[in-house]
Chain A
Amino acid sequence: MKIGKLITSGVAVIGFSMTMAITTTSIAEAASSVVDEGKSIAFNKKKGNCLACHRIEGGRMAGDIAPPILMMKMRYPNKEVLRAQIWDATASNPDTVMPPFGRHHILSESEVDKVTEFIYGL
């Protein structure tokens, strides 16, 4: 009886930690795939084409129209503000040459989310 209880709870503990482990990896995997997707959207000439203007680590033949994308967490502690810049850069600067990716439907909502995740980690 006692042993049985112990074993069961032991299994429960093992079971619990296994689920934990699985959940943690899948969140990490999902996160890294979102970042990867964000990166390929950002670099794709027909999508974000951010390299036309910005230097970004890992990207080749970048332009030099805009500031390099660096230390985004420092510059944008609030991720929403960063997303807003990508969604519609003209909101903070009407004269900017940065295309309003969300407002002009150059990228979809979820594409803007993914690019934000990628950029935020730089």
Chain B
Amino acid sequence: MKTRKLNVLIGWGAAVLMMGSVAVEASPERDLKAFQTYFVEKFPLTKYSDFNNGVYSIDESFRQQWESIEEFPPYESFMEMGEEEWNKAFANGAGYASCFGEDVSAIRGFYPHWDSKREQVVTLEGEINRCRKDNGEKPLKWKVGTLAYLSAYIAYEGRGQKVDVVIPDDPKAVAAYEEGKRFYYAKRGQLNLACADCHVYQAGQHIRADLLSPSLGHTTGFPVFRAKWSGKSKSGDGMGTLHRRLGGCNKQVRAKPFKPQSEEYRNLEYFLSYMGNGMEWNGPSYRK
């Protein structure tokens, strides 16, 4: 009699625990609220809509330099090259519009999203190369060059729309989101640092002379022209995609970067973009 009672109790306890953990795991909405509240409270002087400007949203003197650079932005000529590429026909006569539609301004805000047929997160850059492959064209390099220019053109045309990433009520989509989140909070590399260590907990602090940007709105401004990525022959012409930046931040902590458009980085992009819901898309951008 006594033992049965105990079993029932344990059974109950387990059920309650399970319910608890399900509720905790499957709540991107709750994560979003906590995440955004954290940054709003940490940076009371920053307007909410301004968090999409990276480090410039939290530092007045950097911001002034940046605003003057943005008046004649160094990414402009690359955007124009992207537009030319967009208008070029493939060898088969089709073009990018055959995959993405004629309205270029509607594209940026559509990615990233969960593709329930292919059961994976799809990204803008990933779909550009898929479009090329489907039309018999060679894929473009992922991190620099023409793909970054195209992405810049599409981003520019889609400026001002609100980020509105959806995590559908599909366990696989939620799992992809959770993977991205786990990646963000996991310590890695020889230096043992998580993305969140630098961009959540230490955001606003200096690491050497670099100010750490808050991760809220981190994906909205891509692709970016970075002074650091320009000039030296190896680093290219300055333009780079989001996945180039992710790889760079992994290398900084002496972790092996994942491949651009790997499942890891797509899921990470999914999580990070979702955290920016409600911000405006504002790429391409200039960064130091």
Contact = CB atoms under 8 A, between A and B. Distances in A.
Interface of A: 49, 51-53, 61-65, 90, 97, 99-100, 104-106
Interface in B197-223: 197-198, 201-202, 205-210
Contacts of B201: 97
14 contacts: A52-B208, A61-B209, A63-B207, A64-B206, A65-B202, A65-B207, A97-B193, A97-B198, A97-B201, A97-B202, A99-B191, A99-B193, A104-B190, A104-B191
Interface centre among B192, B193, B205 (most CB of A within 10 A): B192
A51 B208 contact: yes
A52 B206 CA distance: 8
Nearest to B190: A104
A90 B192 contact: yes
B208 A97 contact: no
Describe A's contact surface by its main secondary structure.
loop
Given A97-B197, A97-B201, A65 B192 contact: no
A64 B193 CA distance: 16
Size bracket of the B interface: 10 to 19
Contact of A63 (B192, B193, B197, B206): B206
Given A97-B197, A97-B201, A63 B208 contact: yes
Contacts of B207: 52-53, 63, 65
Nearest to A106: B190
B190 A64 contact: no
A64 B210 CA distance: 10
Nearest to A59: B208
Interface string B157-200: 00000000000000000000000000000000011110001100
> Residue among A63, A65, A97, A106 with the most chain B CB within 10 A?
A97
A49 B253 CA distance: 12
A105 B190 CA distance: 8
Contacts of B208: 49, 51-52, 61-63
A62 B192 CA distance: 20
A60 to B, nearest CB: 9
Contacts of A49: 208
Contacts of A63: 205-210
A106 B189 CA distance: 11
A106 B191 contact: yes
Contacts of A53: 207
Contacts of B210: 63
A63 B198 CA distance: 12
A73 B206 CA distance: 26
